[in-house]
Structures are given as structure tokens and as C-alpha cells.
């Protein structure tokens, strides 16, 4: 097992291996960068097949948080943590408290929060041992409506750039996944007059948007073949791949899912196909922006949070414009912008 020679290693400032014999905790915390502020990023609980898999994931995800926080212009660096184990059997108060004590030892260079298989209740248990956690119950609350707002505004920015107007009325949008964020996105789109085509693996989620927003339900795989204006991936990662890209007819791809491109080259293929892609970590930053306002000394302020989330529209317009001017793909421009902000400050 090696760290420094992993492809994903990007001069991470600190990688910490943590354990606790009594609770069975095995965790890795990666602080990628604290250039703009304390590293912030969620904790993921996952049954990794090998320790190497866990290292690769935490290195990749923590770097992603540095870029995401920078482009969202938050005074946060990037970090992430993974707890290794089966979510069905390993969870206990002792485990999360042991993890909280490890966070405490880092002295505030990293703040954790929820991620896959970690609930706000689990974070509250970490909080019994440390203040270096965010996204707590009773503070900024559920981030999903803010992620939904940012994604809706991101679709508007893409329309503005591609068509020179932001007309949503009559716009055909395919939404893949109808979870916490996508429900809010569908609501915004429906209220603005869009026609929705939706899919999910959960029938109850489909029924809700069909009933409330007059959406048309389509099959899980059918979502890629629709003749629509916008494809909004809001479920899984890697849905933009060799199999799906040739089938997608939408000229705008803008959704909230993380890691939408199966590989970086798929962003280049989209550009070659004249498809405008809103880079995932830029358009889906509404939730982390809202969490930031929990750290305000005067307390959480929703109005300030919403104003900041609205900035996603301008950031995307800037990225789209630069991508055209420099003849590059939008995801490369987003990465360049992140590196510039990290180097020059907010």
C-alpha cells in the first residue's frame, strides 16, 4: 500500500490513518489543501474491498473538494474522510465518537460532514467529541433545496449562453433520479413552465413528480434517448460515458449528480458534439455554500446563503465564455479557474 506514488496523489498536505480497537474504527482522513481555509468535506462510510481502494477514493474526493470550494468562492480548503466497513453492521455511537476524537486531534485543519452512508445523526455523535464538524441538525439544515436552486440557475446560465435567452417555458428537460435535490429542481422547472421527463428506480419518487408537476415518466434506460433540450443527471456518477453520449440528443447537460463524466475525455467528446456541459462540481455547490453560512459568527443567515448560491449563475457564464474563447472543454476551464483562485486567493 503506497500513498505518494498513487496517480491520485496531488501533493495532499496530510493523509491520516486512524483506528480504534474497541469500536473497530478504521478510517482515512485526507487534507488536500488548506490554502483558502480549513479543509472541508464529508465523511463517507463504504465497504472498500481493499485499503488501496479507500486511499484512492479519499485522495480523489479530497482534491475534488478543494476545487469545488474554491470555485464556489468559499474560504474553505478541501478534505474528505472515509470510514472502512459495512454500513449495515459497523455503525455505533462508539465508532463515531472515536472518529470525532481523531477529528479533534487534527485541531481544525479539517471539518467533516455527512456523505454517503453517513447521516446528520452520525455527525451529531462525532460532535460529542469535537466541534470540527458541519451540517449539524438544527443549524443550516438540509442542503438539498440550495443545491436544487443552484442547479436550476445553472440550467438558466446554460440556456443564456447557448441560446441567448433563459426561457424555461416549454423547455423539455429529462431528469434522471428524483431524490432530495431533483425534487426541488423539478419544482423550480415546473413553476417556470418546463415540460419534465423523469425516471427513478423508486416508483414512489416518480409518482410524486408525476402527480405534483405533471411530469412524464420514462424507463430507466430510456432517459438517454429522449428528444429533449436539457439532460439533467441527478442520480449517479459516470452517466456520461461511451455508451450514453452517442444517444443523448440534448444540447445542454446540467444536473446535480457528482462525478458525471466517466473520464475526463468524455467532457471533450461533449464539446466536440456541440453539447454544453455544466461542470458538476460548479453547478451542484449550492449545498456546501449553504453549509458555509452555518459558520458565520452571527449565526446562520439564509438570505446571505441564497445570494451566494445565486453566484453559481455568473460563475458558469464565466466558465462557458472562457471555454469558447480558449477553445477548451468546460470541465478543463473549471479546473483552471479553481487553480487560479487557490493560487491568488478569493
Per-residue interface string for the shown chain with ligand NAD, residues 260-289, x marking contact by CB under 6 A: ------------------------x--x--
**Shortest Cβ 104–ligand NAD spacing (Å):** 26
Q: Under rule CB under 6 A, which residues in 138-157 are in contact with ligand NAD?
A: 143-144, 147
Which of 3, 180, 192, 210 forms a contact with ligand NAD (CB under 6 A)? 180
Q: Which C-beta is closer to ligand NAD: that of 146 or that of 320?
A: 146
Known binding residue 77? Answer is no
User: 140, 291 in Cβ contact below 8 A?
Assistant: yes
Q: Which C-beta is closer to ligand NAD: that of 139 or that of 322?
A: 139
Check residue 182 for interaction with ligand NAD (CB under 6 A).
Answer: yes
User: DSSP 3-state assignment of 58?
Assistant: helix
Query: Cell for 242?
Result: 461511451
**Shortest Cβ 339–ligand NAD spacing (Å):** 21
Active site residue 249: no
Distance in angstroms (rounded) separating the CA atoms of residues 243 and 224: 10
Which of 62, 117, 199, 330 forms a contact with ligand NAD (CB under 6 A)? 199
Which of 71, 113, 256, 312 forms a contact with ligand NAD (CB under 6 A)? 256
Residues 6+ apart with CB under 8 A from 207: none
Known binding residue 177? Answer is yes
**Shortest Cβ 284–ligand NAD spacing (Å):** 4
Q: Under rule CB under 6 A, which residues in 286-305 are in contact with ligand NAD?
A: 287
User: 83, 99 in Cβ contact below 8 A?
Assistant: yes
**Shortest Cβ 280–ligand NAD spacing (Å):** 8
Check residue 106 for interaction with ligand NAD (CB under 6 A).
Answer: no
Residue nearest to ligand NAD (CB): 179
User: DSSP 3-state assignment of 334?
Assistant: helix
Q: How far is CA 5 from the centre of its chain?
A: 27
Check residue 315 for interaction with ligand NAD (CB under 6 A).
Answer: no
Of the listed 80, 172, 249, 304, which one is catalytic?
Answer: 80
Distances, alpha carbon 49 to alpha carbons 1, 20, 139, 294, 303, in Å = 13, 20, 35, 36, 44
Query: Within 13 Å, how many C-alpha atoms sit on residue 218's CB side?
Result: 17
DSSP assignment string, 232-297: EE-S-S--BSTTTTTT---SEE----SS-BSSHHHHHHHHHTT-EE--HHHHTTHHHHHHHGGG-T
Which of 24, 141, 179, 311 forms a contact with ligand NAD (CB under 6 A)? 179
Check residue 69 for interaction with ligand NAD (CB under 6 A).
Answer: no
Check residue 210 for interaction with ligand NAD (CB under 6 A).
Answer: no
> Buried (b) or exposed (e) across 114-150, using 16+ Cβ within 10 A?
bbebbebebbbbbbebbebbbbbeeebbebbbbbbbb
Distance in angstroms (rounded) separating the CA atoms of residues 340 and 31: 19
Which of 160, 166, 258, 301 forms a contact with ligand NAD (CB under 6 A)? 258
Known binding residue 303? Answer is no
**Shortest Cβ 181–ligand NAD spacing (Å):** 4
According to the 3-state scheme, what is the secondary structure of 93-149?
Answer: HHHHHHHHHHHHHCCCCEEECECCCCCHHHHHHHHCCCCCECCCCCCCCCCHHHHHH
User: How many angstroms separate the most distant Cα atoms in the chain?
Assistant: 60
**Shortest Cβ 174–ligand NAD spacing (Å):** 11
Q: Under rule CB under 6 A, which residues in 224-243 are in contact with ligand NAD?
A: 234-236
Known binding residue 180? Answer is yes
Question: Which residues sit at the interface with ligand NAD, rule CB under 6 A?
Answer: 143-144, 147, 176-182, 199-202, 205, 220, 234-236, 256-258, 284, 287
Q: Which residues are annotated as a binding site for NAD(+)?
A: 177-182
Residue numbers annotated as active site: 80
Amino acid at each position: 500500500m503506497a500513498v505518494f506514488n498513487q496517480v491520485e496523489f496531488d501533493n495532499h498536505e496530510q493523509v491520516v490513518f486512524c483506528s480504534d480497537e474497541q469500536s473497530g474504527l478504521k478510517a482515512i482522513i485526507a487534507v488536500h489543501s488548506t490554502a483558502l481555509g480549513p479543509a472541508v468535506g464529508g465523511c463517507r462510510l463504504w465497504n472498500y474491498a481493499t485499503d488501496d481502494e479507500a486511499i484512492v477514493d479519499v485522495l480523489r474526493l479530497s482534491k475534488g473538494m478543494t476545487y469545488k470550494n474554491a470555485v464556489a468562492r468559499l474560504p474553505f480548503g478541501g478534505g474528505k474522510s472515509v470510514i472502512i466497513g459495512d454500513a449495515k453492521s459497523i455503525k455505533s455511537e462508539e465508532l463515531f465518537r472515536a472518529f470525532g476524537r481523531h477529528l479533534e486531534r487534527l485541531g481544525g485543519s479539517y471539518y467533516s460532514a455527512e456523505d454517503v452512508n453517513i447521516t446528520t445523526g452520525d455527525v451529531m455523535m462525532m460532535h460529542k467529541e469535537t466541534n470540527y464538524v458541519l451540517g449539524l441538525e438544527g443549524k443550516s439544515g438540509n442542503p438539498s433545496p440550495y443545491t436544487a436552486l443552484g442547479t436550476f440557475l445553472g440550467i438558466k446560465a446554460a440556456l443564456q449562453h447557448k441560446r441567448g435567452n433563459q426561457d424555461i417555458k416549454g423547455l423539455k428537460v429529462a431528469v434522471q433520479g428524483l431524490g432530495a435535490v431533483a425534487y426541488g429542481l423539478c419544482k423550480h422547472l415546473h413553476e417556470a413552465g418546463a415540460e419534465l421527463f423523469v425516471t427513478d428506480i423508486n416508483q414512489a419518487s416518480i409518482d410524486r413528480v408525476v402527480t405534483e408537476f405533471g411530469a412524464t415518466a420514462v424507463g430507466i434506460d430510456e432517459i438517454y434517448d429522449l428528444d429533449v433540450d436539457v439532460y439533467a443527471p441527478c442520480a449517479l456518477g459516470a452517466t456520461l460515458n461511451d455508451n450514453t453520449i452517442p444517444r443523448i440528443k440534448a444540447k445542454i447537460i446540467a444536473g446535480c449528480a457528482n462525478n458525471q463524466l466517466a473520464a475526463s475525455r468524455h467532457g471533450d467528446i461533449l464539446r466536440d458534439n456541440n453539447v454544453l456541459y455544466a461542470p458538476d462540481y460548479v453547478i451542484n455547490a449550492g449545498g456546501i455554500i449553504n453549509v458555509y453560512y452555518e459558520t458565520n459568527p452571527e449565526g446562520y443567515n439564509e438570505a446571505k446563503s441564497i445570494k451566494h448560491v445565486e453566484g453559481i449563475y455568473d460563475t458558469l457564464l464565466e466558465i462557458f465564455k472562457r471555454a469558447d474563447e480558449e477553445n477548451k472543454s468546460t470541465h478543463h476551464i473549471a479546473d483552471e479557474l479553481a487553480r487560479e483562485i487557490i493560487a491568488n486567493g478569493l
